[in-house]
Amino acid sequence: MAGMNTTYPIASVAELIGERGRAAILITLLDGRAQTAGALAFVAEISAQSASAHLSKLVDGGLLSVQTSGRHRYYRIADPQVAHAIEALGVIATRPRQPTGPGPRETGDMYRARSCYDHLAGRVAVDLARALEDSGVIQPRGERDYEVGRQGATWFKGLGIDVDVLRGCRRAFARRCLDWTERKPHIAGGLGAALFSRMQALGWLARRRPTRALRITHRGARELQARLGFTA
């Protein structure tokens, strides 16, 4: 990492994240999609010149990766661990929600279901993780992980997910990711990413453009109810 504080490396990362424009860019990219500098400048409400400088620092710092396609350069979160760290910071940076009445619809949609890089987050994700635990599909292992339960391999196979293949991947298999709005764990890691991908491919989830908020489709609600007794 360029310019890293070798005594306290976390200080270098904190400096990168701590600037408002760079924080806005990182949060925008938590939906897992690659974006151009122009699109990120618009969302972050900064000039194209400022966006270019911020993106250069984030790439040099290892938080973002960049890929060139034709005349465009596309930026994305460099690694799932970066997304997990930003999500975890949200837990300590925001106060727990208070049931004081309805807020803006956009905020409610994000709290209910959203993408967190490559997995599902929000109240629906937390409730889904709990339903999978109650059904014996997954079970907690230690402080940070999930393990597949006795019913798990068969259940995931029914969705087209091979858990043995996922175990062979280099990334964490099934991480208990603390949800920053719900303060309870949802499923991340390779299993969380595979589940999120299949739910989208099967038409169970749909994006609420232009944010990273998601909605459970009628088909998704029906399938989750039939497979888990889960009411989305």
Per-residue pLDDT of 3-55, as tens digits, reads 555 566 788 888 999 899 999 999 889 888 889 999 999 989 999 999 999 99
Quickly tell me which residue has 């949060």 as its tokens: 27
> Which residue segments constitute the domains of the chain, with CATH numbers given?
9-78 (1.10.10.10), 100-228 (no CATH)
Q: What is the pLDDT of residue 7?
A: 67
Q: What is the pLDDT of residue 145?
A: 95
Confidence class for position 85, pLDDT limits 50, 70, 90: confident
Tokens of 70: 């034709």
Coil vs helix vs strand at 214: strand
Alpha helix stretches (DSSP H) within the chain: 9-18, 20-28, 37-44, 48-60, 80-93, 105-112, 123-134, 152-157, 163-167, 189-201, 218-228
Contact criterion met (CB below 8 Å) for 35 and 73:
no
Q: CA 229, CA 112: separation in Å to the nearest integer?
A: 19
For 22, half-sphere exposure in the C-beta direction (CA atoms, 13 angstrom radius) is 19
Q: What is the pLDDT of residue 163?
A: 95
Full-model pTM: 0.72
Output the CA–CA distances (angstroms, integers) from residue 76 to 121, 133, 136, 161, 180, in the order listed: 18, 32, 35, 25, 21
Confidence class for position 1, pLDDT limits 50, 70, 90: very low
Mean pLDDT across the stretch 61-70? 92
